[in-house]
Amino acid sequence: MTSVVDSAELAKRLLQGEPAVIPTDTVPGLAAKPEHAKQLWHLKRRPADKPLILMAASVQPLLDAVEERCREDARPLIDRYWPGALTLVLPAKGPLVDQLNPGGNTLGIRIPACALTLELLRLSGPLATSSANTAGQPPAATAAEAAAFFPDVAQLSQPWPTRSGLASSVVKWHSAGTWQVLRQGAVMLSDIP
């Protein structure tokens, strides 16, 4: 049976290496500290070539995780859409890429517009995240659906705020001033260059 715990207890569990189910502004998420991210692929039965997203409560830890050459282009999108349902895929290297995107050279980053999760992220630090579902299944829409997917994974206390039900929009940086929309989601991206 799923245990439901407050942010302080869940942050403690995350820091000890456990995964967690969390609310976001889009769909419920499955989260772990980056150094324990492998368990997310295992729990979801997700192919390892599908990267995870790094979420944080503030911009700087996310920018520190990506290459400097893309930061100037990312800043206007960050200022306009974060916190919010926009994931930026940016060039990166180092241990976080190895942990969240094995074999890749980019990292998806985001700050969710969800007060409960932001409080957790302030306590836990950045987290590797993915939608709360098993591979091939639609994302959970509620805490109860997430618990059905992951009955042995602790959940952040409820009630959870209303969320959009749409996944985040995803844009990838290619070069100075050049972005590619990888997924149209909760944020309308018609004005992205």
Residue 189 within a domain: no
| Res 181 pLDDT > 80 | yes
Residue 23: asked if its preceding bond is cis (omega within 30°), the reply is: no
Whether pLDDT at 40 is above 80: yes
* E strand or H helix that includes residue 107: strand 106-110
Does residue 191 lie within any of the structural domains?
no
Tell me the average pLDDT across 36-41: 96
| Within a domain: 68 | yes
CB 89 within 8 A of CB 189: no
DSSP states of 178-190 as a string? Answer: EEEEEE--SS--T
- Residue type at position 114: C
**Is residue 179 situated within a structural domain?**
yes
Confidence of residue 192 (pLDDT cuts 50, 70, 90): low
For residue 103, give Cα distances in angstroms to 49, 98, 117, 126, 157: 8, 7, 29, 21, 35
d(CA 73, CA 180): 13
Domain contains 166: yes
Least confident of 66-75, 76-85, 104-113, 165-174: 165-174
Tokens standing for residue 133: 């579902």
> Domain range for residue 156?
4-183
CATH number at residue 25: 3.90.870.10
- Number of compact structural domains in the chain: 1
